[in-house]
Structure 1
Amino acid sequence: MRRRRGFVQFAILHLLKEESMHGYQIMKELEERSNGTYSASAGTVYPALQELMEQQLIELDTSSDKKVYSINENGVKHLQNKHLEGDFWVEWKERMMWRNSEQSIQLRGAVDRWEKEFRKAMKHARGNPESVHELIAFIDDMTESLSKKSTKQGDRS
């Protein structure tokens, strides 16, 4: 499954709302805002910047030695439309701390194992409509179960 950069993009927009920056500054600031629990890589930040430019949420100034990114009016509107409760940077820090926790690592390992088995099941279901329907029903049952679980947990928050 493709890894998403949505939360990193959102963080970049928040940084650029404060001031224009070049890519290395963005990487360092993301790391600092997470108290060192997130180490931004060029392989994450630059594709995220490219996607933000394609979405016309940021602009690039190449008139100086370094490429400097800045948020534009569309980017500011995009942030305003998200209606986040609380401080974004508190959420950023908590998310990055969770991401590095033993529980999160174990959970991602379980998801990776599940994904591997799912791909095998899809391969075996090819050309067999009954197997495809069984796999869809299984996934729908899992989805419903997860939905109920997250609703119960949401009630406790």
Structure 2
Amino acid sequence: MRKRRGFVQMAILHLLKEEAMHGYQIMKDLEERSEGAYSASAGTVYPALQELLERNLIELDAASGKKVYSINENGQKRLQEAAKQREGDFWIEWKERMTWKNSEQAVQLRAAMDRWEKELWKAVKQARGNPESALELTAFIEEMTDRLKKNSVK
């Protein structure tokens, strides 16, 4: 499964809405906002910042010798769009999500999902060139997807 930085990017935009910051300050503030439940790393924050720059949501000022990031008008608009889709305080959700990610249940769920993904790719490989197996696997995946949808409604 592909790692997603979207929630971290949104958190960075929220921080930069408050004030311009350098990368280390962003990492420290993200950790503080989660009350220690999230430990920001350069391997997560800097690629997220680079992607935000590439998407023209933030700007970089390196004139002072330090790279200082600030939100621009596009980033402000992105936050406004996201606010329309989300209820409640972003930072409360941030803390809850980071606390959940460190819980035993989340660790077990991730391990189960990793096993599922490994077996799924084995099945996909075995179905290559076998139309009957591919149809069977497709039906199985669709059935599991429908079951997940029904369970998430409860």
Once the two structures are superposed, residues 43-89 of structure 1 have per-residue CA deviations (whole angstroms, 9 ceiling, x without a partner) of: 10011111111111001111112100000000000010112211100
- Please, what TM-score do these two structures have when normalized by structure 2? 0.97
- The aligned counterpart of 2:145 is 143
Provide the C-alpha distance between the structure 1 equivalents of 2:27 and 2:129, rounded to a whole number of angstroms: 47
Q: 1-side partners of 2:105 and 2:153: how far apart? A: 21
TM-score by length of 1: 0.95
- Distance in 1 separating the partners of 2:117 and 2:20: 39
Which residue does the alignment assign to 2:126?
Answer: 124
Structure-to-structure mapping, 1:1-157, within 5 angstroms: 1-82=1-82, 83=84, 84-152=86-154
2:132 & 2:47 partners in 1: Cα distance?
41
Query: How much has 1:151 moved relative to structure 2?
Result: 1.1
Q: CA deviation at 1:136?
A: 1.1
Distance 2:153 2:64 in 1: 51
Tell me the secondary structure at the aligned position of residue 35 of structure 2: coil
Structure 2 residues without counterparts, runs of 5 or longer: none
In 2, distance between residues paired with 1:3 and 1:63? 32
Alpha-carbon distance in structure 2 between the residues aligned to 1:88 and 1:45: 18
Unaligned runs of 5+ in 1: 153-157
Matched residue SS, 2:108: helix
- Structural RMSD (CA): 0.7
Q: Distance in 2 between matches of 1:136 and 1:58?
A: 42
Aligned to 1:155: none
The alpha-carbon deviation at position 135 of structure 1 amounts to 1.1
Percent identity for Structure 1 against Structure 2:
74
Q: Deviations over 1:79-133 (max 9, x none)?
A: 1011221110000000000000000000000000001101111111111111111
